[in-house]
Amino acid sequence: MRYHEMSPQELLVAGNHAPEINDVPWLVRWDEVRDPEATVARLLPETVEFHTSGTTGPEEAWVRTAEQLWDEAGLLAGLIAPRRPDAVLACAPARHLFGALATVLLPARLRVPAWYRPQYYGAMPQAGRRRWAVVGVPWTFSVLLRHSEWVRAAEQVTVLHSTAMLPTAAARLVQTEGADQVSVTEVFGSTETGGVASRVWGPDDPLWELLPDVRPAWGEPDATGEVLLAVSSPRLAHRPGLPHPASHRTDDYIRAGADHRFRFSGRRGRLVKVNGRRVNLDELERLLRDVVHCADLACLPVTDPVSGENLDLLVVPAPGEELVGGDVRAVLATAGLVVRPRRVHVVDRIDRSDTGKLRRVQPPLPTRAGA
């Protein structure tokens, strides 16, 4: 894969005016810039507008200041600095907040070169670097599994991930290569809040810890012991033309713990109650990916005239293979699932954002034999 060597000036100017920088590989030598902070301060606009992914409704604009962005990039750098990365391989598109922070500004904070890889296929950078930070989106983990020789040639690989629940490939990567070789640092946040909390992934599902400048603003839990995550932070975004909010309440249910820690229960739009049992669709998808052989799958919440809420399963066949709903249902019947999908739809594709999030409104679902 050839990388276009782009100066920091070109990157920051193009990033504000030309979305095509998200579609071609490039290399930026932040390690050769005398004063990255001054360069960013000179070229980054006073305010930058980002849009929500549109997975649950229309996209919304949220504004952040250049100071907020630089400060948050510093927080992200602090999360991975203990592993002393000397290069960044980034896969998160710069048009979204996480990509702007981790793909563009994080390497400036670390003062290391950054290779940007926008696609699943292609060669890995061969730069003689030993300690890599990888800015990941969900498909990144499959790429690293496919290029195990690249991972093993490094002294350490630290993956920084946000925007979506980790795929099962992440656990396989850490288990295959070992936690000393590969670690995964997760960042919990949104376009509206920026980064809220972080953790280093582990098989025991560790608690999330609020970032240093974030304070809890949630109230008392409900009868189930859960509460919607609400926080205050100097990095909260604001809507165009409106003042900075004092706090922001998200759609994420949590179980609050001590010392500003919490356990994530699920997103409001990804929780359904089927016959009295609450189901986290993100968790169910993780289980299904281990038993259903396919190119992609997703659980879609639906209304049901009998149960009120239910879920359908969308499945994309693996390349060159035939698949019908009856085949999938036969597999599910032996998987020991507490809740099974109401219907199985075999589809050509699943509509997702470019960071892997499922869009709530999907293309019209075909009716196939056996579905």
**Domains assigned to the chain:** 4-215 (3.40.50.980), 275-346 (3.30.300.30)
Contact 168, 290 (CB under 8 A): yes
Q: Which two tokens stand for residue 283?
A: 């968790």
Q: How far apart are CA 328 and CA 109, in angstroms?
A: 47
Q: How far apart are CA 177 and CA 180, in angstroms?
A: 8
Q: What is the pLDDT along the chain (371 residues), one digit of tens a residue?
A: 789 999 999 998 887 766 778 889 999 999 999 999 999 999 999 999 998 865 555 678 999 999 999 999 999 999 999 999 999 999 999 989 999 999 999 999 999 999 999 999 889 998 889 999 999 998 999 999 999 999 999 999 999 999 667 888 899 999 999 999 999 999 999 999 999 999 999 999 999 999 999 999 999 998 889 999 999 999 999 999 999 999 999 989 999 999 899 999 888 878 888 877 788 888 899 889 888 999 999 998 888 776 678 899 999 999 988 888 888 988 888 888 878 899 999 999 998 876 677 765 566 555 443 44
Contact 151, 125 (CB under 8 A): no
Count the Cβ atoms, other than its own, within 10 Å of residue 266. Answer: 20
Q: How far apart are CA 216 and CA 187, in angstroms?
A: 16
The one-character DSSP state at 269 is: G
The one-character DSSP state at 352 is: B
What are the backbone dihedrals phi and psi of residue 186, each rounded to the nearest 5 degrees, phi first?
-100, 145
Q: How far apart are CA 321 and CA 297, in angstroms?
A: 15
Give the Å distances, CA to CA, from 61 to 49, 51, 54, 64, 239: 6, 4, 11, 10, 6
Angle at 220 between CA 218 and CA 221, to 5 degrees: 100
State CA 140 to chain mean position distance.
10
Angle at 246 between CA 242 and CA 252, to 5 degrees: 100
State CA 210 to chain mean position distance.
17
Can you tell me which residue has the tokens 């034999």? Answer: 369
Q: How far apart are CA 110 and CA 125, in angstroms?
A: 18
Whole-number pLDDT of residue 105: 98
Q: Which two tokens stand for residue 344?
A: 């199985």
Query: How many Cα atoms within 13 Å fall on the side-chain side of residue 4?
Result: 13
In sequence order, what are the residues at sequence separation of 6 or more whose Cβ sits closer than 8 angstroms to the Cβ of residue 104? 11, 12, 15, 94, 114
Whole-number pLDDT of residue 56: 52
| Pairing of β 156-161 and β 61-65 | unpaired
Report which residue type is found at 218: W
How would DSSP label each residue in 173-191?
Answer: HHHHH-TTTEEEEEEEEET
Q: How far apart are CA 337 and CA 264, in angstroms?
A: 21
**Long-range pairs, 53-61, Cβ under 8 A, ≥24:** 53/96, 53/163, 53/191, 53/353, 53/355, 53/357, 54/353, 54/359, 55/353, 55/357, 55/358, 55/359, 55/360, 56/269, 56/360, 57/360, 60/191, 60/239, 61/239, 61/240
Whole-number pLDDT of residue 166: 85
Q: How far apart are CA 293 and CA 168, in angstroms?
A: 14
In sequence order, what are the residues at sequence separation of 6 or more whose Cβ sits closer than 8 angstroms to the Cβ of residue 268? 228, 251, 252, 253
